[in-house]
Amino acid sequence: NGDNEENHCYKSGICLNHVKVLDDADFKYINELCENHSGWNIVYNKDIIKAKALLTDVPAATVYDVLHDPQYRPKWDKYHVATIDIGLINPNNDICYYAVGGMPPLQIRDFVLQRSWLDTGNEKYICSHSKFPPVEGYIRGIVYLAAYYIRDMGQDGCQITYINHSDPKGKFIDLFSIISSTALYLVEYFYFNHNRL
């Protein structure tokens, strides 16, 4: 689209390199990305990636809590290295450091993210975006926008949609396979472990 990567903005007003407390319009934009299927390709096209799963036996509140709990993340995210809180913007927004181990064939990477979350009852959002200077020993990736959208489907089931628009930087062979396998691992984890959560 010709936008400068350093100043990339989405139509909602969420911009790279800008700390912004997400408001209702931003969460509505995330909802539209997750619910509107027009213009989405089934194959990786080097733009935003969207993965969706229906978890018929897992309550939406459980998925939201597991995704949102940094102490629990190492139990389901086998590539997790570290999550460190940097600062709280308000009760629903913070800045954190996130490091991820090498997902073969990728080297270790880290990110500094602004995270936002919202629980509206039937819909739950966890979003992140931002960029900061790199840390020695890690390849610094850029997350333009990543979000989990969890919708209660009734009778203890839920639908989870994950969208990701990022640049992992460095060399990689097949990012789509890596993200797909990670998303599949997450869905399988919830399916096989939901009774223990």
End-to-end, the C-alpha distance of the chain in Å comes to 43
Decide: residue 131, CB within 10 A, 0-12 exposed, 13-18 middle, 19+ buried: buried
pLDDT at position 49, please?
Answer: 64
Domain 49-196, CATH among 3.40.50.1970, 3.30.1490.190, 3.30.530.20, 3.10.129.10:
3.30.530.20
pLDDT at position 182, please?
Answer: 58
Q: Which residue is it, tokens 């139509």?
A: 11
Is the preceding peptide bond at 104 cis, omega within 30 degrees of 0?
no
Q: What is the DSSP letter of 60?
A: H
Decide: residue 24, CB within 10 A, 0-12 exposed, 13-18 middle, 19+ buried: exposed
pLDDT at position 44, please?
Answer: 45
User: What's the one-letter identity of residue 78?
Assistant: K
User: What's the one-letter identity of residue 111?
Assistant: F
Q: The tokens of 26 are what?
A: 């931003």
Displacement of CA 192 from its chain's centroid (Å): 21
pLDDT at position 52, please?
Answer: 75
pLDDT averaged per 10 residues, the chain (length 197): 52 63 79 73 53 79 82 82 83 83 75 80 56 68 78 84 76 54 60 59
Distance CA 164, CA 108 (A): 18
Residues 6+ apart with CB under 8 A from 46: none
Residue ranges per structural domain of the chain:
49-196
Distance CA 47, CA 167 (A): 9
